[in-house]
Amino acid sequence: MIPDDDLLRRYAFAETLIGEAGALALGYFQRAGELVVHSKGVQDMASEADLAVEDLIRSRLDAAFPDDAFLGEESGSTGDPDAPGLWVVDPIDGTQPFVSGLPSWCVSIAYVRDGEVAFGLVDAPAIGERFAGSRWTDATRNGVPVKPHPGTSVRDGLTYLGASPRMRADDLTPIFDRLLRAHGMFVCGGSGALGLCDVACGRLVGYLEPHINSWDCLGAVAVLQAAGCRVSDFLSVPGALLNGTSIVAATPPVYDELAAILG
């Protein structure tokens, strides 16, 4: 893909913006014990940090690109739903780790044009890592190109197995069983975007989750695609942008095995 000037301008703007958002989030993280936290359901919450970071991102984007639409975890969808450009944002992916004082959280920004993820950035300031990827660049971590794990089976490395209260235990248990019977081993760090980026940079052989929201994954999907990983076509599923769907991502030789394990 050869990017036009509008895409390049948005990409450069997003690089600066995610740094500002990450710094703001990190300031809240450093006093996590003092934060006001609101429950949105079982094991689902939003802190004042989530709201403040999303407000920063949304207001900056509205001012710079008023014709683009916006979809954020906390504020929902704004702007023209038929706009060709859409920003999809999670101000803090991994709020539970964030408020618990764990570093496995991030800020995620994706830009979708004409129904495809054009680019994405995932910033994890508590661990000093920023991932980036686009349809015209390589995937990078802190500016250095990354590549997938060399493994050819789930038995060759770790798989991130995502879970959320949206899924019943009876839905998840068979997936655990199939992964373990295939001699795979799993991890779960509380942030889908970071888990997916760990696939992109070769730390994990794959990622699977029965249900994930678009703001939790699209920034990382851009990184995965730029790294040469295989990723399920999230946006091709009707309603997935607003309602979420399943996701499988892996080093290419492992993808089909993981898709079968997901079922």
Query: Using CA atoms, how far apart are residues 90 and 221, in angstroms rounded to an integer?
Result: 13
Q: Measuring CA to CA, how many Å separate 100 from each of 30, 32, 45, 184, 258?
A: 11, 7, 12, 28, 31
φ/ψ bin of 254: left (φ > 0), alpha (ψ from -120 to 50), beta (otherwise) = alpha
Q: What angle do CA 120, 234, 9 make, to 5 degrees?
A: 25
Per-residue model confidence (pLDDT) at position 42: 46
Sheet order of strands, 129-134 included = 76-78, 69-72, 85-93, 106-113, 116-124, 129-134, 137-141, 144-145
Q: What are the tokens at 262? A: 């997901």
Q: Are 15 and 22 in contact (CB under 8 A)?
A: no
Q: Are 108 and 215 in contact (CB under 8 A)?
A: yes
Q: Measuring CA to CA, how many Å separate 107 from each of 92, 112, 174?
A: 5, 17, 31
Q: Report strand pairing: 76-78 vs 85-93.
A: unpaired
Per-residue model confidence (pLDDT) at position 87: 98
Q: Are 132 and 142 in contact (CB under 8 A)?
A: no
| CATH numbers and ranges of domains, the chain | 5-145 (3.30.540.10), 154-262 (3.40.190.80)
Other C-beta atoms lying within 10 Å of the C-beta of residue 239:
8
Q: What angle do CA 77, 81, 82 make, to 5 degrees?
A: 160
Q: Per residue of the chain (263 residues), give pLDDT as tens.
A: 789 999 999 999 999 999 999 999 999 999 877 776 765 554 455 688 899 999 999 999 999 999 999 999 999 999 987 899 999 999 999 999 998 999 999 999 999 999 999 999 999 999 999 999 999 999 999 999 999 999 999 999 999 999 887 888 888 899 999 999 999 999 999 999 999 999 999 999 999 999 999 999 999 999 999 999 999 999 999 999 999 999 999 999 999 999 999 99
pTM to 2 decimal places: 0.95
Q: Locate tokens 């004082």: which residue?
A: 101
Alpha-carbon 78 to chain mean position: 20
Q: Are 121 and 15 in contact (CB under 8 A)?
A: yes
Per-residue model confidence (pLDDT) at position 115: 93
